[in-house]
Structure 1
Amino acid sequence: MSITTGDQPQFRWSSRLSFVFAASGFAIGLGNIWRFPYMTGENGGAAFLLIYLVCAFGIGMPLIMAELMLGRQGKRGIVGSLRAVAAQSRASQRWSWIGALALLATFAILAYYVVIAGWTLDYVLRLAEGEFTGVEREGSTAVFASLMESPWRMLAWTLVTVAVTGLVVARGIKGGIEKVTSIMMPVFFVGLILLSFYALVFGDMASALEFLFVPDFSKIDSTVVAMAVGQAFFSVGVGFGTMVSFGSYLDEDVSIASTAGIIVAADTAVALVAGLTIFPFVFQYGLEVTSGPGLVFETLPVAFGAIPAGQFVGVVFFALLFIAAITSCVGLLEPLAKRAMNMFSVRLPTAAIVVSALIAVVSVGTVLSFNHWADFHPLNSIGVLADATIYVVQDYIAVNILLPSAALLIALFVGWVARKETWEEQLATSGRFAALAFLPIMRYVVPLAIGSILVLSILS
């Protein structure tokens, strides 16, 4: 079914379940399985996790609700929906620039996300060939280093990832995104749960549980708070514009509050299960929890090389990691392609191809930042980024500055600018508590929290 809004036909999700799979697929990705474990490892374990959970549900869920409502009310992408709701509220059209900020963050993140997603494909092949059988930590580190030192190999896997992502988005909601996520997400969920049971049997689960669930509050400082909030935004998927775009396809009778709750709960559950899958092996084999971005790629292969059926388990793990990555890549590309489609009045396949090509070009800088341009520090005059490579600059600015800024402006727009009647109508199917609590939270709690977070990010 489709209706027409503006210049483009507006399609609908086939079912609420299709939407949940797609939205969860976007939220659940490398942020949960690759980024969450190493960020937790670097920032004190359970203390970091506690702040992350508070931010995910206390800030992330209301913002997801706001973005879904913006999309369903405006029935366009993030820029178009902001413009439409501003017009309905007799507010300045300049509020639509929030969308441009969100899409800039989305573009910057996708440009390095496809590179890291490509690493997972490379590791599927290496594990299938038995390259990590019986390997020690030094050998595993050497393998990872060899990949980092091979720009052409990294670029090849990046282009494969970009091509798959572009193909899915080009096929639209029903032929691409719904079809892929409705197959991939159940496979992902089942596979990850089975791997966690495997970790329970062959890993040090007791140490993992203590690390994840027994907080040491002395480890909490402004840096840990800033990193936890940035991770929550990155993982849950607020500030990108994707939830606005996906919300524009949402039926009017779907409960915004319960749907947002399901998305955040699924995202958080996967992050926890990923931690319970990875850390038992890390502790069992005496690996370093503070290994940083290389935690999954440098330490886990050592465990896979030693445990029973480790070669098969390793292939499954990195295949699942690629599934999570590709569904997130699709969610990141979709609002960018939708914006290009509306700006230049072209068909979705054309827009998806053009934006994918731009992402591929910009990703070259990320690839080179791990090898030939490793000593190039584009913002060396800025203290916190003085020694940062292109990749680190992309990640820090997008995750810790642009996403929170976009989220803050969305909260201010929804809470103070948009008509109150708009949100009452949108929340009519979400229950009385959601309808009563939403505006106070968006007006006071969320802006204050995000404003504090931004200050911490800048000062940390």
Structure 2
Amino acid sequence: MERENWTSRLGFILAASGSAIGLGNIWRFPFVTGTNGGAIFILIYLAAITLLGYPILVSEMSLGRTTAKNPIGAFKKIAPNTGWPLVGALGVLSGFVILSYYSVVAGWGMSYIFKSLTFTANNNFPQLFEQHIGSLVQPIFWHGVFMLLTVVVIGAGIVNGIQKLVKYLMPILFIIIILLIFRSLTLNGAARGLSFYLKPDFSEITLQTFADAISQAFFTLSLGMGAMITYGSYLNKKESITESAVYVIIFDTLVALLAGFAIFPAVFSFGFDPASGPGLTFITLPAVFTKMPFGNFFSLIFFVLLTIAALTSSISMLEVVVAFLVDEYSWSRKKASYLVGLLIFLVGIPPLLGYSKLATINFLGMNLLDSYDWITNTIFLPAGGILTAIFVGHIWGSKQAAIEANQNSRLKIGLIYEILLKYIVPLAVLAIMLISIWKTLS
């Protein structure tokens, strides 16, 4: 079976950026920023995404293109008859587990598109959200709808599915977010939100700030889950990996920062708490929107934005598992997409029920959805990133990876990339990973 390729560099950049841009930017980044002191977190996050994220991103893309394989096949091709393909298997597992609960949260966002039409200032938004996630039928229905959309796109293929979709969705995403920013910045009291967002307070720095910044960098760039290895495997030799990776990071970071500009001025304008955690999106923001002129309209387009961003990421996570089955077992793309999609939907039921029927079950003091999130973001993704850095840096060879990445590129990487990849990235990520585990267990 002939392997598909992206038809252009722009197609690849939009698809890879779409993989990176998702709930991590619109849902996760604002509340993590809010709970970590605002501007100071952003500075540390930018350092993490540049010094740790970029080398791994380039490495994963290079590994994918040089092997033209899925994550497991890529490690197997370079290091046959060793245990290294297990690192690829960890990536496939990570994408599978993350998508199972990611789809649940995306389903909440989809349901709020329609709920937005009836929002009023009299709504009790904490109660409204608790009623939604605590019910049985609604969350399952929207989880299923979102997974079905994801499956349909992946089943259509790389060019006719992923590339065609992101070509339209990514520009729409930017238009919506700019519209929201314009409205947010014109509110009375918006300056207080801008100060929180742009003026660093160094007294807010803790070890948790660094841990959350690195975790956010991995989550938002889809690192450690095999997505960028898979997308890189469809990239032809004429395209520049080093330049494409820069564009992906720029687009991803830009959307996250723009989301902050849309959210924090509005939150401060109406006197809400920026450190309200995950509920910032589903409790605080709807309350903010109802206080604005044309609030229902802006609420509607915000949750459309959230859903678009979630979909461009979910398709990359499903593609990781589908590519493995197509490559290694010669499954048809449609068969792999629909069967894996159904299985992921079923695995997402327990965390979905963690707010209702399974609310009494917890792990390390967390409900099931938070447990899925903690395991993947604190253990799976960092471990995948560390082992990929070690593999590319020491087994395949950082020089060989640099040669692959530098093909047809005006932006050349060399010694600094090799030092970061071989020593700085594994040690820094391992240290933060162990600290995060210790803090949770202690």
TM over 0.5: yes
Equivalent AA in structure 1 for residue 349 of structure 2: V
Match of 2:33 in 1: 40
Shift of residue 279 of structure 1?
1.0
Matches within 5 A, 1:289-300: 289-300=274-285
Match of 2:64 in 1: 71
Shift of residue 339 of structure 1?
1.2
Aligned to 1:93, the other structure's residue is in SS state coil
Query: 1:27 and 2:20 equivalent?
Result: yes
* Residue 320 of structure 1, aligned match among 291, 302, 305: 305
Aligned to 2:225, the other structure's residue is in SS state coil
| TM-score normalised by the chain length of structure 2 | 0.96
Report Cα offsets for 1:360-414 as digits up to 9, x if no partner: 101110110112212211x3xxxxx2x1111111100101111000000000001
Aligned to 2:223, the other structure's residue is in SS state coil
Aligned to 1:9, the other structure's residue is in SS state coil
Shift of residue 152 of structure 1?
1.1
Match of 2:107 in 1: 118
Match of 2:239 in 1: 254
Matches within 5 A, 1:99-138: 99-128=88-117, 130=118, 132-135=119-122
Shift of residue 426 of structure 1?
3.5
Equivalent AA in structure 2 for residue 27 of structure 1: A
Match of 1:56 in 2: 49
Query: 1:276 and 2:253 equivalent?
Result: no
Equivalent AA in structure 2 for residue 421 of structure 1: Q
Report Cα offsets for 1:230-265 as digits up to 9, x if no partner: 111101211110100000111212111111111111
**Structure 2 CA distance for aligned equivalents of residues 230 and 405 of structure 1:** 11
Shift of residue 344 of structure 1?
3.1
Matches within 5 A, 1:389-408: 389-408=367-386
Report the CA distance shift for 1:341/1:194 in structure 2 as closer, same or farther (over 3 A).
Answer: same
Aligned to 1:292, the other structure's residue is in SS state coil
Matches within 5 A, 1:14-413: 14-87=7-80, 93-128=82-117, 130=118, 132-135=119-122, 139-202=124-187, 204-377=189-362, 379=363, 385=364, 387-413=365-391
Report Cα offsets for 1:345-365 as digits up to 9, x if no partner: 210110011110111101110
Equivalent AA in structure 2 for residue 70 of structure 1: L
- Structure 1, unmatched stretches of 5+, are 1-7, 380-384
Aligned to 2:2, the other structure's residue is in SS state strand
**Structure 2 CA distance for aligned equivalents of residues 422 and 165 of structure 1:** 32
Match of 1:5 in 2: none
Shift of residue 288 of structure 1?
1.4
Which stretches of structure 1, 4 residues or longer, exceed 4 Å deviation after superposition?
A: none
Shift of residue 436 of structure 1?
3.8
Match of 1:440 in 2: 419
* Residue 424 of structure 1, aligned match among 382, 386, 403: 403
Report Cα offsets for 1:102-128 as digits up to 9, x if no partner: 111111111100001011111110112
**Structure 2 CA distance for aligned equivalents of residues 81 and 412 of structure 1:** 15
Report the CA distance shift for 1:47/1:430 in structure 2 as closer, same or farther (over 3 A).
Answer: same
Report the CA distance shift for 1:203/1:413 in structure 2 as closer, same or farther (over 3 A).
Answer: farther
Q: Kindly indicate whether the alpha-carbon contact (under 8 Å) linking 1:13 and 1:251 is maintained by their aligned counterparts in 2.
A: yes
Aligned to 2:72, the other structure's residue is in SS state helix
**Structure 2 CA distance for aligned equivalents of residues 433 and 345 of structure 1:** 37
Aligned to 1:418, the other structure's residue is in SS state helix
Report Cα offsets for 1:127-172 as digits up to 9, x if no partner: 12x2x12235xx1111111101212100000000000000000110
Report the CA distance shift for 1:459/1:47 in structure 2 as closer, same or farther (over 3 A).
Answer: farther
Q: Kindly indicate whether the alpha-carbon contact (under 8 Å) linking 2:185 and 2:266 is maintained by their aligned counterparts in 1.
A: no
Aligned to 1:191, the other structure's residue is in SS state helix
Aligned to 1:269, the other structure's residue is in SS state helix
State the identity %: 38
**Structure 1 CA distance for aligned equivalents of residues 186 and 148 of structure 2:** 38
* Residue 3 of structure 2, aligned match among 2, 10, 29: 10
- Structure 2, unmatched stretches of 5+, are none
**Structure 1 CA distance for aligned equivalents of residues 377 and 188 of structure 2:** 32
Matches within 5 A, 1:446-457: 446-457=425-436
**Structure 2 CA distance for aligned equivalents of residues 273 and 237 of structure 1:** 19
Count of equivalent residues: 438
Shift of residue 429 of structure 1?
2.7
**Structure 1 CA distance for aligned equivalents of residues 409 and 435 of structure 2:** 34
**Structure 2 CA distance for aligned equivalents of residues 19 and 10 of structure 1:** 15
